[in-house]
Amino acid sequence: MLLAKTFKSSTFRLAMIAIGAFGLIVSAIFAYVYWSTLSYVRDRSDRTIMTEQASLADAYARSGRDGLTALIAQRVADKGFADHVYLLVGPGSTVLAGNLRQWPAGAAEKGWAEFRASLPQLSSGTSLLRGVTETLSNGDRLLVGRDISDLDGFMAQIRAAGIAVVVLIIGLAAAASIGVTRRTVGRIESINATSRAIMLSGLDQRIPLRGSHDEWDRVAENLNLMLDRIQTLMGDVKQVSENIAHDLRTPLTRMRGRLEKAYHAPRSGEGDAALIGDTIADLDAVLGMFASITRISEIETRARKGAFRTVNLVEIAGEVVELYDAAAEQVTTRLDLAGDQAVLVTGDRDLLFDAIANLVDNAIKHGRPGGRVTVTCDNDERGAVISIADDGPGIPADQRDRVFKRFYRLEQSRYTPGNGLGLSLVAAVASLHGARIELHDNAPGLLCRLVFPAAET
């Protein structure tokens, strides 16, 4: 099964194309080396033959046939010229001198020729000979050549070695390609199997790692991290859906109860007016919830960056403190503004106002009655910082990352006022402005910091 998929994979096809191209390149290189070597060796042999022919021709020019015959006999007797071939024949093809018995059938009267013939110094067999022929002025024909059997054998060995090397390289490359392709297909099939298991059973499956720390393990790690993120998001969606259903059920149930009671009760002007007012208030709460969701989504899509300007956090914080001063007095909470006189950031003034207002509102609601809420604006080495501190019960350390999720509330029964969207809006505004949110223990209470990058000047 895996082998069949290996041969059908695009990786294998690409590998075969690469092997084919590589084989052609290697074959071309080998052919070039072979023909270059052959040409070089033959040129050296031919130059030796031409030099010897010139010597014999010079002897003929000086001493005629007798001098040439004597020189040929001297050369044949000399062991230093054992690989040389000489033949001088008369007009009737009568052998006059040399170490060949007759004129070779494949040799013309003038020019180069290769032929096989028996040499007297060899006990048996024939040799491959190469020589040059010419016709002398008296009609005699002269052949001067060399035994190139060794050259022919050498080139045959080069051919055999080259072919063996090419076949070996292509074979090894093919085997390596099949092995690599099988490994690649195997890892891909592992990912595919996990994907199918996820589709069938859920997001709890993960791609197995082999511990090799190679690129496939890195891909598997990233995919597993993506699956973790998807599983977390799906859990958040499930939790948000349940929270929305819970938060909507209470006002909708109240509205239905009132309408049903009014339907069965006699008409009363004051009672109807009160019912309509209560119903409108519940509907406003529901519409406000959906408006908050829409606004958070709008902020998260970065649709509000066109309104960015250089603003002073101190001015915005001062307006928020002034707005919530009356609400703080109702629960005898002291609301103060402290810090520098000018803390500049680049951002959307309205969104920053809403974010600070949500943090101050939470501090007043969840702080200690009769306590203190302090809003502080500072400039430090990290940038612009606004802090909101209260002296209430605070937030447990293990839940500080969760409170910024939509509809998340520390009070799980969800009977207290609110919908769990305030801190989600703060997180969205902070992300839009490139700010960092920090939650710390105020001992007692909670200290929330928004750290902004300094405004560009």
Strand partners, 344: 312
| 336 compared with 294, residue with greater pLDDT | 336
Residue 359 has which token pair? Answer: 């943090």
| pLDDT for the residue numbered 414 | 43
| pLDDT for the residue numbered 419 | 53
DSSP letter at 279 equals H
| 337 compared with 151, residue with greater pLDDT | 337
Which of 121-125, 206-210, 329-333, 356-360 is predicted least confidently?
A: 121-125
- The answer, yes or no, to whether residue 3 has pLDDT greater than 80, is no
Q: What is the pTM of this model?
A: 0.46
Q: How far apart are CA 227 and CA 450, in angstroms?
A: 31
Question: Which one-letter amino acid corresponds to residue 91?
Answer: P
30 Rama sector, left if φ>0, alpha if ψ -120 to 50, beta otherwise = alpha
**Domains of the chain, first to last:** 1-154 (3.30.450), 215-297 (1.10.287.130), 305-451 (3.30.565.10)
DSSP 137-164: TTS-EEEEEEE-HHHHHHHHHHHHHHHH
Q: How far apart are CA 106 and CA 81, in angstroms?
A: 23
- The answer, yes or no, to whether residue 195 has pLDDT greater than 50, is yes
| 372 compared with 231, residue with greater pLDDT | 372
Using an 8 Å Cβ cutoff, are 378 and 339 in contact? yes
- The answer, yes or no, to whether residue 309 has pLDDT greater than 70, is yes
Instruction: Label residue 375 by pLDDT band (50, 70, 90).
Output: very high
Average pLDDT over all residues of the chain: 78
Q: Is 21 exposed, middle or buried (0-12, 13-18, 19+ CB in 10 A)?
A: exposed
Instruction: Label residue 9 by pLDDT band (50, 70, 90).
Output: low
DSSP 107-123: --SSEEEEEEE--TTSS
| pLDDT for the residue numbered 413 | 44
